[in-house]
């Protein structure tokens, strides 16, 4: 029931509480559910509306009508061990596994990723943008990319300086920008991408959906779903796609392997890693 809805962290807290108390959920009042979830009663009402119901009574009525009939073979919807679906944490992991399967199917056509790799490898410097929730993805990509690309510029902070840093990258010769855009999409990301397009940069975007608000015709957008079953989004699929892009970029950089070997040699001399 929660799939396909963009819920706030508070609303996800309510959803998780309902999953944990699945047997009781159809019979809880909005006040009782609010107390169990540690939220306000109006938050429960807004949660029901976010799911498409007129209010919490309609949501509770739907849950009661959806209750399966008892069976002699044990609790409905469970396996032999009484928990085929798993608990809420297991369900979150299974959802991420499914997202990775979807990504694998998408990569059956390697052409878009290969094109992205060519664009990123050719851009000197290479700006990598990721704000708020997407900052971790951008930092991870930039960290590894800097080992093989001669000039990677991480843009993980918004504010009035962001456009200046984009302009500086363009003046230095940048031809493309890699953006990680994940929910909830900051307005600053949308504005920064518009500025980058006006400056002539080709945009490669890893986003949670082809319908993400950052998408524009002419951009190379690569979708990778995020998990929404926990209080905060999980981004295993976008992270994996970022690593695939790194690989595609390395394939286009003739000195990538030499740079990696040089780094390994320096790291060994400096004793950087406890190996």
Q: What is the pLDDT of residue 79?
A: 41
CA distances from 62 to 26, 82, 86, 88, 204 (A): 8, 24, 23, 21, 42
* CB-CB neighbours of 206 under 10 Å: 28
Q: What is the pLDDT of residue 69?
A: 61
175, 193 contact by CB (below 8 A): no
Q: What is the pLDDT of residue 75?
A: 40
When computed from its CA atoms, the radius of gyration of the chain, rounded to whole angstroms, is 23
Q: What is the pLDDT of residue 175?
A: 98
Ranges of the chain whose pLDDT falls below 70? 3-4, 68-85, 275
Q: Across-strand partners of 152?
A: 126
d(CA 227, CA 236) in angstroms, rounded, equals 8
């Amino acid at each position: 029931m929660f799939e396909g809805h963009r819920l706030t962290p508070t609303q996800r807290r309510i959803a998780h509480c309902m999953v944990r108390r699945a047997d009781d959920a159809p019979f809880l009042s909005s006040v009782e559910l609010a107390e169990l979830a540690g939220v306000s009663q109006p938050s429960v009402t807004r949660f029901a509306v976010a799911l498409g119901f007129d209010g919490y009574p309609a949501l509770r009525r739907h849950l009661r009508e959806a209750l399966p009939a008892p069976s002699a073979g044990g609790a409905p919807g469970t396996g032999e061990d009484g928990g085929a679906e798993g608990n809420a944490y297991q369900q979150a992991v299974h959802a991420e596994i499914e997202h990775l399967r979807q990504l694998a199917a998408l990569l059956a056509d390697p052409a878009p990723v290969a094109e992205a790799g060519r664009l990123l490898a050719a851009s000197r410097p290479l700006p990598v943008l990721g704000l708020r929730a997407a900052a971790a993805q951008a930092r991870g990509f930039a960290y590894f990319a800097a080992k093989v690309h001669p000039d990677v510029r991480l843009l993980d902070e918004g504010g009035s300086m962001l456009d200046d840093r984009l302009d500086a990258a363009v003046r230095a010769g940048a031809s493309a920008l890699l953006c990680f855009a994940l929910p909830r999409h900051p307005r600053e990301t949308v504005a920064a991408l518009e500025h980058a397009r006006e400056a002539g940069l080709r945009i490669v975007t890893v986003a949670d959906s082809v319908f993400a608000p950052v998408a524009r015709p002419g951009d190379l957008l690569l979708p990778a779903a995020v998990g929404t079953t926990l209080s905060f989004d999980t981004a295993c699929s976008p992270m994996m796609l970022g690593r695939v892009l790194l690989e595609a970029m390395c394939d286009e950089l003739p000195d990538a392997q030499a740079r990696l070997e040089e780094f390994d040699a320096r790291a060994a001399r400096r004793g950087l890693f406890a190996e």
